Structures are given as structure tokens and as C-alpha cells.
Amino acid sequence: MAASLNQKVDALVKSNPEAAKKLEETIAALEKTYLSGESAEGPIGRLGRGFQTFKSNVYDKDSALFDKLKTGQWPKYMIIACSDSRVDPATIFGLNPGEAFMVRNVANMVPAWEPKGGYPSVSSALEYAVKHLKVEHIIVIGHRLCGGIKALVTTEEGQGSHDFIENWLEIGKPARAATKAVSGSDEVDEQCKFCEKESVNVSLTNLLSYPWVKEKVVGKKLSIHGGFYDFVEGSFQVWDFELNVSHSQKF
């Protein structure tokens, strides 16, 4: 039967090139759909199927956890990470629902304390996590090949072309200055590697500018940490940050 089908296709190619071209395009589209994991229902259908898998494998199998979560949340961690689609903290650390309160933004930035300032999203989440959820650990996580950090390193001041990105990355200017001082003569990739970690330290320093964060850190009721996820090498490094940088661990 396969040989017969091939013969029919060959005959179609010879007799009707236009129809053959459309057939090739259809086959290519089907192959692309198959390889991407998407069905004819489209990308939103992919999310629906993902939810059904989650519901069957997680939600329906751990009713005790989700019954508890219906009454509130008590996370031990606040994680501040990049919006990059490759660095989802819940996936990287295998976190369950309710374990971590998260904020994600471009280049995992934390602005300095500025009452009634222009960056209330991170600050309001931070205030809620510290004052109301009473998290015990705040972790700021940077990562390799961060597009935001590359923009910070390579874009000259006043030369940006975006509506919001350059203004947001102003938070990381101290990291850029440190990078240029230490490795300004290196290739851009090496500068980015340095700045990806240094920007985390800038955000950790900014965390201590919030009075209620510093008070809890000094009182040993809250710990803040820097983290760095290298998905190129498959490694994770974490370091403590009190009033200065202390020991680090690599996993």
C-alpha cells in the first residue's frame, strides 16, 4: 500500500506541479506542528492540555495541600528572578504551590527604597512578603545570557530605543560601573558574565535600604541571599548577604 501511495504522489508531482507544491507545504506545516508539540487547537490549547496534566498529576493527587492553600499562604521564601522564559524558579527548584512568593521582572532588579517612588511593583510585593507573609528568606536570582544585563552593559546612556527598558535598567547602573572598572577591556560576553552576578549584589544592597528589611536582617529574623543559575553549564550558585557578602555555595 505504501508503494502504491508513493506512486500516486509521484504521478501527482509530474502531472500537476502546483498541486504538488501545495501538498509539500501541507506536509511541512504538519511536521512543524508535530515537532513543536502543538495540535490543531493552537498554542492556547497547549496551555489547556498543560492544565489538565497538572490537575490530574498534582491537584487531584494532593488534596491536603490544596485544601490548606484555600485558607491562606505561608511561604518561607520570596524569590526575585528574571522574567526570562528559560529560568522559571518553580521548575528549577521543584517548588510546590505555596512554597515561594515570587516577583519576576527584566534582569531581576530590586530598586532602592524610595517612598512613593516610580517602581512600586517590586516594592509593594516586597513589603507584603516581609510585613504580612513574614518570609524568612529573600533570594535574588540572576542567570546566564540575560538579555536585560546585556542591554545594560552595551547600551550607551541616552542611546536606548525602548519606551521603558532603559529607564528600568537604570537601577543596575552601579553594576555596570563596576563591570566597566573590572572587565571593561574584555569581550562583551565576559563583561556580561561579571555583570550578571554584580547586578544581583546591587539588588541585595538595595534590599537593605528598606528600613523594615534591614531591621529584620539585623534582628536575624530574615536572611537575604544572592543566587545565580547557569543553564549553559547546568549549575546553581548561592551566597549569603547580610551587611556584606559572606560564603557561597555552588550546586
| Residue numbers belonging to the annotated binding site for Zn(2+) | 82, 84, 143, 146
> Bridge-partner residues for 77, per DSSP?
100, 137
CA 24 to chain centre: 38
Number of residues assigned to the chain: 251
Q: Quick check: helix, strand or coil at residue 104?
A: strand
Report d(CA 108, CA 239) in Å as an integer. 16
Alpha carbon distance 214, 221 (integer Å): 10
**Cell 504521478, residue?**
11
What is the chain's Cα-based Rg?
A: 25
Is 145 exposed, middle or buried, given 0-12, 13-18 or 19+ CB atoms closer than 10 A? Answer: middle
Strands 235-241 and 245-250, bridge-based pairing? antiparallel
| Integer CA distances (angstroms), 146 to 78, 87, 130, 158, in order | 21, 10, 27, 21
Distance CA(113)–CA(65), nearest Å, equals 36
**C-beta of residue 155 within 8 angstroms of C-beta of residue 167:** no
Binding-site annotation: residue ranges: 82, 84, 143, 146
> 14: left (phi > 0), else alpha (psi -120 to 50), else beta?
alpha
